[in-house]
Amino acid sequence: MKQARPLTLANGRLVTPDGVRDGGVRIVDGAIAALGEDVPQDGDEIVDAKGALIVPGLVDLGVFAIDKPAFHFGGITRAALMPDQSPPLDLPSRVNYIAKSGKPDLWVHPLAAATRGLGGEELGEVALMREAGARGIATGRGWIADSGVMLRVLRYAAMLDLVVVSHAEDSGLAGDAVATAGEMATRLGLPSAPAEAEALAVARDIALAEIAGARLHFRQVTTAAALDLVRGAKARGVPVTAGVTPAHFMLSDLAIGDFRTFGRLSPPLRSDDDRHAVVAAIADGTIDVVSSGHDPRGPEDKRLPFSDAEPGMAGAETLLSCTLTLVRDGVIDLPRAFDLLAGAPARLLGVEAGTIREGAEGDIALVDQEKPWVVDRRKMEATADNTPFDGQPMQGRVLGLWKGGVKVD
């Protein structure tokens, strides 16, 4: 849908990479044309922001389902879809279909399956999938155990200048585990794996990325040991980035104490020490991206014994509010928050969005940073209500959303 006439959001607080300042934003032909206090022109459609935050539309890197109402509730205007679909995104035709599926009010950026059928053995036709619209390569929910295959994936990606999105859990150690080894898993009698399964996977993939000269993004890094490895690799100049979901900086494995399957995640919830390490890594820049990991699961997947339930959470609606808790706690500032939520994922995907600057896509959200609300799974916009934050008070809500300067209803 093309923008009919110029739009100006006025009298707001602009959140830009350089800081927060009073002013407005003018969008013309789908792109940001001007920023500042005197940007409106005759004939513009004018929206009074009334002091609310004017921020970039969120870019959600690594979702497992496209759920427009939930994304729009959460201020998400672009989503990178994991290849774990039915069938998997391992053919150009499937990638091309997904790349067009969300328009005009949501851009979907497919991540191509690194291997055929996500089997971890035979490389997919990534070059053809890139031409069809893929913005990255992903290993999916699993880790590629064969180091030779993973090295070929990384070399192929480096040649095509595509980021590789890896799931960091050594499958030989993780096996069928549903929890992190420790006191809680022992008390509940749950199959568990040591937290070191993540560090081992991260160490190997970093080593292979150094050999290949490839860009590597770990979709979730959730343990202190693995974060130290990422920190060290960055210090050496390795092009590695790390992400996390709010569950892993807000919750520990105590949240599974009543066998509540909404806390059954992949990777599993960690110890409180690891949770604190994640918060520190967000503060010092080791973690680059906060994403929702949006994975709505119905009762057929969640109303089961904990060990039989499928992992995943419906995270799109709580992504923004959870990240704003880090701002209120003084861990990060607003520009850093929206770089985690929009700027960094946009750069990894190579799209001209995710930031408030002239020339960028006119994907804009109006946010009341202080607006209180309570998560109620019965009222969620998502196709399923599997949130571990049910009943939790939150602050921060989207007041309005524009995609390319066009209002999203």
pLDDT tens for 199-216 read: 999 999 999 999 999 999
* CATH number, domain containing residue 108: 3.20.20.140
Query: In total, how many domains does the chain have?
Result: 1
Residue 382 is assigned to a structural domain of this protein: no
Q: Is the pLDDT of residue 1 over 70?
A: no
Residue 63 is assigned to a structural domain of this protein: yes
The rounded percent of the chain whose pLDDT value lies above 90 is 96
Q: Please tell me the predicted confidence (pLDDT) of residue 139.
A: 98
Range of the domain at 159: 58-355
Residue 7 is assigned to a structural domain of this protein: no
Residue 404 is assigned to a structural domain of this protein: no
Residue 53, C-beta contacts closer than 8 angstroms, at least 6 positions apart: 12, 13, 15, 20, 334, 366, 367, 368, 369
Residue 34 is assigned to a structural domain of this protein: no
Residue 406 is assigned to a structural domain of this protein: no
Residue 93 is assigned to a structural domain of this protein: yes
Q: Is the pLDDT of residue 37 over 90?
A: no
Q: What is the mean pLDDT of residues 329-350?
A: 98
Q: Please tell me the predicted confidence (pLDDT) of residue 38.
A: 79
Residue 395 is assigned to a structural domain of this protein: no
Q: Please tell me the predicted confidence (pLDDT) of residue 3.
A: 86
Q: Is the pLDDT of residue 409 over 90?
A: no
